């Protein structure tokens, strides 16, 4: 008998299904790409497969250095098993080089290195276009406690330090990235873990030698070669084994 699994949530680039055991969820990576709060949409064949593997690679490495996250294991080309958590309604952006919205908001040329990394918070609310918020808003509206915010900041700094080094080692500059966190409960205690995904959809990755963009800005800005660039990131990280058909398309 075929039993249809339960869909818990469908976002712009991922679907969450009920997992095989309580407290687990299956995270499915779609090929859909959106930008500017879904005003721009496309399907990029193979993107989900590549992001599933890049995110698996990065989350496993982060687990290995003690940045606890929701990743349990990859199940197949498009799916991974993750730990269920209460998502904190924040997009946490960490920047090393001025780009994107920071460049526009402050009128600073894209590519200007920052004297130190800057962490920003955005409230996850599509209807409001994810407005930027401060720590005051976050604690006043109980999106996260002061202690949770401290953990979020400390973990973001560790993610940035680790990933900056990882990418630098393969000739890529980590310009900025966005991460999300969740809360898990163990008896009466809660704990913050890293959640969602880390992939070229959620990072700005520039080839250090040429300055070429290897991330979702290729889609946002109509630069072309989106899949080729994501594939290049995977190849440099040494995770291309078993995915040659992605390049030829045709994966579903």
Q: Which residues bind ligand TMP (CB under 6 A)?
A: 93, 99-102, 176-178, 202-204
Q: Is the CB of 71 or the CB of 206 nearer to ligand TMP?
A: 206
Q: Where are the beta strands (DSSP E) in the chain?
A: 7-10, 14-18, 24-29, 32-35, 40-43, 71-74, 79-83, 86-87, 90-97, 113-123, 132-133, 172-186, 189-195, 203-207
Dist. CA 240–CA 251, nearest whole Å? 15
Dist. CA 137–CA 132, nearest whole Å? 10
| Smallest separation, CB 75 to ligand TMP (Å) | 23
Burial of 104 (C-beta count, 10 Å sphere; 0-12/13-18/19+): exposed
| Smallest separation, CB 59 to ligand TMP (Å) | 15
CB 83 within 8 A of CB 184: yes
Taking alpha carbons only, the member of 199, 191, 202, 197 closest to residue 85 is 191
| Smallest separation, CB 35 to ligand TMP (Å) | 8
| Smallest separation, CB 100 to ligand TMP (Å) | 2
Q: Is the CB of 177 or the CB of 219 nearer to ligand TMP?
A: 177
Taking alpha carbons only, the member of 83, 125, 116, 72 closest to residue 98 is 116
Q: Which residue of this chain has its Cβ atom nearest to ligand TMP in the complex?
A: 100
Q: Is the CB of 82 or the CB of 102 nearer to ligand TMP?
A: 102
| Smallest separation, CB 33 to ligand TMP (Å) | 11
Q: Is the CB of 32 or the CB of 176 nearer to ligand TMP?
A: 176
Q: Is the CB of 28 or the CB of 177 nearer to ligand TMP?
A: 177
| Smallest separation, CB 156 to ligand TMP (Å) | 12
Using alpha carbons, list the distances in angstroms from residue 218 to 73, 80, 124: 29, 26, 23
Q: Is the CB of 57 or the CB of 206 nearer to ligand TMP?
A: 206
| Smallest separation, CB 96 to ligand TMP (Å) | 10
Dihedral sign from CA coordinates of 58, 225, 227, 236:
negative
Q: Dihedral through CA 45, CA 50, CA 56, CA 58, nearest 10? A: -130
Q: Is the CB of 19 or the CB of 92 nearer to ligand TMP?
A: 92
């Amino acid at each position: 008998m075929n039993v249809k699994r339960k869909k818990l949530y469908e976002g712009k680039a991922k679907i969450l299904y009920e997992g095989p055991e309580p407290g687990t969820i299956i995270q499915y990576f779609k090929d859909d790409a959106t930008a500017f709060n879904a005003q721009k949409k496309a399907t990029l064949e193979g993107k989900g497969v590549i992001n599933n593997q890049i995110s698996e690679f990065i989350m496993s490495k982060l687990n290995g250095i003690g940045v606890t996250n929701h990743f349990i294991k990859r199940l197949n080309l498009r799916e991974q098993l993750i730990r269920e958590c209460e998502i904190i309604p924040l997009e946490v952006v960490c920047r090393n080089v001025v780009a994107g919205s920071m460049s526009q908001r402050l009128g600073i040329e894209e590519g200007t290195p920052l004297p130190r990394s800057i962490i920003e918070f955005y409230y996850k609310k599509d209807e409001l276009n994810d407005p930027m918020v401060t720590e005051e808003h976050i604690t006043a509206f109980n999106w996260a406690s002061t202690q949770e915010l401290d953990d979020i900041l400390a973990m973001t700094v560790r993610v940035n330090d680790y990933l900056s080094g990882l990418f630098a080692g393969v000739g890529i500059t980590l310009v900025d990235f966005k991460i999300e966190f969740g809360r898990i409960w163990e008896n009466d205690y809660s704990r913050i873990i890293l959640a969602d995904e880390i992939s070229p959809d959620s990072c700005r990755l520039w080839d250090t030698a040429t300055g070429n963009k290897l991330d979702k800005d290729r889609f946002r800005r109509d630069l072309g070669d989106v899949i080729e660039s994501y594939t290049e990131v995977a190849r440099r990280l040494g995770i291309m084994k078993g995915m040659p058909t992605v390049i030829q398309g045709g994966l579903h």
